[in-house]
Structure 1
Amino acid sequence: MGSRRALVLGTSGYLLFIAANLAPSWYTMVPASLYLGFTASIIWVGQGTYLTSAALSHARDNNLPDGPTLGSFNGEFWGVFASTQVIGNLISLALLRNGKVSISIWILSVSYEHLVDCHFTCTSCVFDPIIFISLQDGGSVTGKNLLFVVFLGCMIIGIVLMCLLSKRDEKRDNASTHSSFGSMLKYIVAPLKDRRMILLIPLIAYSGLQQAFVWAVFTKSIVTPVLGISGVGGAMAIYGASDVVCSLVAGRFTSGLHSATFIVSVGAIVQAVVLFWLLLFYSPMEGLLGAAIPLFIGALWGVGDGVLNTQLSALLGLLFEDVKEAAFAQLKVWQSGAIAVIFFLSPSITLQAMLILMATALVISFGLFLLLTLVVEKPSSIRA
């Protein structure tokens, strides 16, 4: 298809999912969700491929080093992406400011129990990351529908802009068409034969785990008991703002594998401190300090998310330039699988067990990533 057409097609799933929220039911939401899962895989592989191609093309056209250029492109993209968590909250609050509306903003998912408690009044709109809004106590249907119409408008603008994207990244990519299904399959699995990818996969999976943790566990078990459901939006807005800043900063400092190792180390240490503190010392507190702690945790967690998003995308572009579509496909396979694991496990295991799982995954994935840096990859193998 080419990455540009994949981006345009991928938006159709988000468009349909938002539209389904105008008449939410199992018969509209379930098919729309399934289709969204299919198209999301297309759009995110296309995004990684296009951004990498555009960055490398820009670097070569302007005689710039590949590493810093890729880092800057990814930092700016993921910074803007993370800002939607703040923008989405502001748009929601602006359109649903009626005093009768009780607004609960959840990022990407809410627990099944919450859906039952709300008697399926929870509806969802996509402005990735997905924002779930619970309208209770006589919430305005008109206001809710207006919100979804605004998001539909955002999607339409996005589709138009993607249609205007440059085709320069596809000049060389057109040569990589496959003559048979077998040749395409070999291309898809090629990264799995590379030990660099094998050592990166655990960190890729952890990046999905930590995203799902903040959406499904942090909001439910850390924020809600202290700030209530109404505090979730504020906590996630602070998380998003921290994510924005760290994405932009991390992108600017990226130059290759060794700079990425330092940056990832900072993010991993920050998240490790949070996990072990929650596991060993944390207990809900009252008062101003107790209310500030979940917000502070959200800000710290945003540091790790911003770092992992920018560095993993930049590294895949640098290490797997010849098979970048297949490399970014592996990124989404392992990230999405890890996210699914957290959502399936979170209703049935305790917070302590989840924290132990997260800490173990972080230690293993970070250790293997250090092995990639120290043993496998040589500085001369990356243009910097």
Structure 2
Amino acid sequence: MAQVTLNDKLGFVDSSRSELPPRKPPSMKKPFRQSLVVSFSFMFVFAAYLSIQNLQSSLNHEQGLGVTSLACLYGAIILSGTLSPSVIRLIGAKRSLVLAWICHILYTATNFYPHWLTLIPSSILLGFSSGPMWTSQGLYLTSCGEAYAFDQGKSLYGILSTLNSIFFTCYESTDLFGNIISSVILTRSSYNETFFNSSRTCGALSSPDVSSNATMAVTDPVKHIVYTLLSVFLVFDIAGLALTAVYLKPLEKRGEVEDRKGLLQSVVSCFTALKDIRLLLVIPLFMATAMSQGILFTAYTKSYISCALGIYNVGYIMASHGLVTAITALLMGRVAKYTGRIVQLVVAVALNMGMLLMMLFWNPLNQPYAMFFIIPVGYGMSEGILRMQFNSFIGMVFFKAADSAFANYHTWNAVAFTLTFTAGMFLTLTTLLYIAIGLMALGFTGYIITELLIRKQTTSETRVP
């Protein structure tokens, strides 16, 4: 087997060479097809979920039910993320996905009658299923990548980048057709959009409760239109469940997770992984990108789009985010073997920071319609790179404890989302944006230090005779 070089570790891969994966791959038939099953099942389910998420802060705005439900959902993910390794050892990766899709069906169903006694419990239940779901996704793609790289005799980094780019192309395309479906259906409803208070404030200066700013009389669409939209999304959820249950094969247990640990030990193992300084240093970057997404999905859709243009424009504008993210993930996955992860992550962080600064200083009132697409498009380009590269980075750097590393990734993402949604109910958007900018700068610094540590470790290893 050829020696793994510094360039391979850092993601600067020589395309003329074919490195085999550095460990024995799992036994898996047709790994590429299995990765497609995972990708398309997520595409169906998240077409429903992400579209509902984008509308929660505007559609269920009374008493902050929509944002509160999202805070409860991501709060539950924090706990479920730490328990993910144990849950997967107990029931397996495939059953974890099936259980998650059932919870998504229940969540969509409770949106037919959004109430504190229906939406909050289903949000918490969905959150508890999300940690094992995302950890299972990471394990499936990593295992498929190992098996496929071994079969093809190609670089593991290149294969993981390709599979992750395909997955996130499918995943992010949900923003495109999911949001278009929601806007097309909601446009059929009648609204009272003529009432605007002359003193309304939109954008970064809006208060935590936009309606108290005398923003716009956000009129809910008529019930039967909402029911039609939710029925379409319910069909998507069922399709994702059927695809996973019928076509996805159970994942062979990885050597490092064969022992069945208790729940307490699972939590301990999740946090024990933080002893690896490399993981600890990149957590702020994970949280910063999640916080930025939380601001986009709630504050931008409500304080910019709904405030200045009306709720039915949310889907049309946010669809651009999904389209650009999907295209970016696909293209960047193809060129990753030439650019490496460092170059791509630098570009992605710069884009993310630029969009945060634009939201901070831009007043959306009386602006051209095309201007509202800039921020979703910029975020889309950044997210398309970051999601793909984060998954590849974790799968390669922390492969000896992949389940705990992926669990940490999604747990800290959930922490950032929860803090963002909760703080958004009390802090001004300006304050929230300053926090996100500071966290992004801290996270990027930590990532650069991590890459230097990897370079130092790899250099020392190559010197050993």
Q: Which AA in structure 1 matches 2:227?
A: N
C-alpha contact (below 8 Å) 1:224/1:232 kept by paired residues: yes
1:254 aligns to what SS in structure 2? helix
CA distance in 2, matches of 1:355, 1:234: 24
Cross-structure match for 2:98: 8
CA drift at 1:200: 1.5
Find the counterpart in structure 2 of residue 163 from structure 1: 245
- The answer (yes or no) to whether the contact 1:68–1:254 under 8 Å persists in 2 is yes
Matches of 2:189 and 2:124, distance apart in 1:
35
SS at match of 2:327: helix
- Structure 2 residue aligned with 1:107: none
Alignment partner of 1:313 is 2:394: no
AA of the residue aligned to 1:282: W
Q: Any residues of structure 2 matched to 1:195-206 within 5 Å, and which?
A: 195-206=277-288
2:442 maps to: 364
SS of the equivalent of 2:228 reads helix
1:237 maps to amino acid: A
Tell whether the 8 Å contact from 2:92 to 2:251 is kept in structure 1 after alignment: no
CA displacement at 1:300 relative to structure 2: 0.8
Structure 1 contact 210–305 (Cα < 8 Å) conserved: no
**2:44 is the counterpart of 1:44:** no
The separation in 1 between residues aligned to 2:380 and 2:364, in whole angstroms, is 21
1:268 and 2:358 matched: no
The structure where strand makes up a greater share of residues is 1
Question: Hey, what's the Cα distance between the residues in 1 that align with 2:115 and 2:357?
Answer: 41
Pairing 1:286–2:363 present = no
One-letter amino acid of the counterpart of residue 115, structure 2: S
- Corresponding residue of 1:221: 303
Q: Please tell me the root mean square deviation across aligned C-alpha atoms, in Å.
A: 3.0
Which aligned pairs between 1:230-379 and structure 2 lie closer than 5 A? 230-255=312-337, 259-279=340-360, 281-284=361-364, 286=366, 288=368, 291-377=369-455
State the 1:149 CA deviation.
Answer: 2.4
Q: Which amino acid aligns with 1:360?
A: G
- 1:240-267 residue CA offsets vs partner (Å, 9 max, x unmatched): 21111112122223349x8111101001
TM-aligned CA deviation for residue 277 of structure 1: 4.0
Distance change >3 Å, CA 146–CA 48, structure 1 → 2: same
The one-letter code matched in structure 1 to 2:348 is G
**What are the ranges of 5 or more consecutive residues in structure 1 without an aligned counterpart?**
104-110, 123-133
Task: Give the % identical residues.
Answer: 27
Cα distance in structure 2, aligned partners of 1:150 and 1:173: 41
Once the two structures are superposed, the pairs formed by residues 97-176 of structure 1 within 5 Å of their partners are: 97-100=187-190, 113=209, 135-136=220-221, 139-141=222-224, 143-167=225-249, 169-172=251-254, 176=258
Residue 164 of structure 2: SS of its match in structure 1?
helix
Q: 1:20 aligns with which of 87, 110, 114?
A: 110
Which fold has the larger relative contact order, with Cα–Cα distance below 8 Å and residues 6 or more apart in sequence?
Answer: 2
Unaligned runs of 5+ in 2: 1-90, 194-206
Cα offset, 1:278, TM superposition: 4.0
Q: List aligned pairs for 1:62-81, cutoff 5 A.
A: 62-81=152-171
1:75-106: CA deviation from partner (whole Å, max 9, x where unpaired): 11111111111111222244445353689xxx
Query: Would the aligned equivalents of 2:351 and 2:381 in 1 still touch at CA under 8 Å?
Result: yes
Amino acid at match of 2:229: L
Flag the 1:53–1:188 CA change in 2: closer, same or farther, 3 A.
same
Name the residue aligned to 1:128: none
Q: Provide the C-alpha distance between the structure 2 equivalents of 1:283 and 1:60, rounded to a whole number of angstroms.
A: 53
Q: Is the 8 A contact 2:208 2:429 kept in 1?
A: no
Q: Return the alpha-carbon distance in structure 1 between the equivalents of residues 266 and 328 of structure 2.
A: 37
User: C-alpha separation between the residues in 2 aligned to 1:208 and 1:376?
Assistant: 24
Residue type of the alignment partner of 1:337: V
**TM-score normalised by structure 1 residue count:** 0.82
Query: How far does the alpha carbon of each residue in 1:182-214 deviate from its partner, in whole angstroms, 9 at most, with x for none?
Result: 764554334211111111111111121111011
1:359 to 1:87, Cα distance in 2 relative to 1, 3 A: same
Give distance in 1, aligned partners of 2:187 and 2:370. Answer: 24
